[in-house]
Amino acid sequence: MRVLLFCIAIILSRFSGAGSVRLLIFSISGMALFPRYLLLAVLLLLADQATKLMILANFELGEHVELTPFFSLILVYNPGAAFSFLADASGWQKWFFVLLAAAISLWIVVLLWRHPERRRENIALSLIMGGALGNTVDRLAYGKVVDFLDFHLGGHHWPAFNLADAGITIGAALLALDAWLAWRSGKEAAPGVSP
């Protein structure tokens, strides 16, 4: 968690100065668990919005800059969800995704509050909440989500995404890992019992 917070703090240091970032990292180590999880979500939200604002300020729609043979920055908009799900809908999907993100975020806050000892699960939930709220800010501000990270190989492109999407994906992967580890430890604790 500290590595992730450190990476987010470095991104934020471009806006707030290195001294405040060192203070932020130092103060995180002494915090109770529940506020740390909320802080992780807020830091992801801020990093997501900061990077999107940088892209919006420097790119025209569709403009791309190739940084490596497999990675580019590009400005695209997605009115839908992952992989442009519901992108062609008539506009109702904006409010559907806003309400869905709000409901999920409230549910996550309750889970974080009730079970602060579940570190890996709570880090995962915090990343999902921060990502969902980052994309919600876009939906409310622009009516669509700003995407800009473009991975490609041999002319084939992965759909463009943003830091909020990355947080949601990493959070989902951590939840799957947590579930698998719990299943595995339960299987080891009771040999001969099929899962």
pLDDT band at 98 (very low <50, low <70, confident <90, very high): confident
Let me know whether 41 and 107 are in one domain.
Answer: yes
Let me know whether 169 and 104 are in one domain.
Answer: yes
**Is residue 195 included in any domain, yes or no?**
no
Q: Which contacts of 9-17 are long-range, i.e. CB under 8 A and separated by 24 or more positions?
A: 9/43, 11/47, 11/50, 11/51, 12/43, 12/46, 12/47, 12/50, 14/50, 15/50
Write out pLDDT tens, residues 157-170: 888 999 999 999 99
pLDDT score, position 96:
83
Percent over 70 (pLDDT), the chain: 72
- Mean pLDDT over 77-99 rounds to 67
Domain membership of residue 6 as a residue range: 1-30
Give the whole-angstrom CA distance, residue 76 versus residue 161.
Answer: 9
Is residue 25 scored above 70 in pLDDT? no
- Mean pLDDT over 72-97 rounds to 71
Give the whole-angstrom CA distance, residue 179 versus residue 186.
Answer: 11
Let me know whether 182 and 144 are in one domain.
Answer: yes
pLDDT score, position 155:
83
Write out pLDDT tens, residues 46-65: 999 999 999 999 999 999 89
pLDDT score, position 34:
80
**Is residue 194 included in any domain, yes or no?**
no
Let me know whether 22 and 84 are in one domain.
Answer: no
Is residue 7 scored above 90 in pLDDT? no
Let me know whether 82 and 164 are in one domain.
Answer: yes
pLDDT score, position 97:
77
pTM: 0.75
The catalytic site residues sit at 147, 165
Let me know whether 146 and 66 are in one domain.
Answer: yes
Let me know whether 1 and 86 are in one domain.
Answer: no
- Mean pLDDT over 33-56 rounds to 94
**Is residue 104 included in any domain, yes or no?**
yes
Let me know whether 92 and 154 are in one domain.
Answer: yes
- Mean pLDDT over 16-43 rounds to 66
Which has the higher per-residue pLDDT, 2 or 164? 164
Give the whole-angstrom CA distance, residue 68 versus residue 188.
Answer: 45
Average model confidence (pLDDT) across the chain: 81
Structural domains of the chain, count: 2
Chain-centre distance for alpha carbon 119: 17
Write out pLDDT tens, residues 112-128: 998 888 899 999 999 99
Is residue 1 scored above 50 in pLDDT? no
pLDDT band at 78 (very low <50, low <70, confident <90, very high): confident
Give the whole-angstrom CA distance, residue 185 versus residue 62.
Answer: 48
Is residue 192 scored above 50 in pLDDT? no
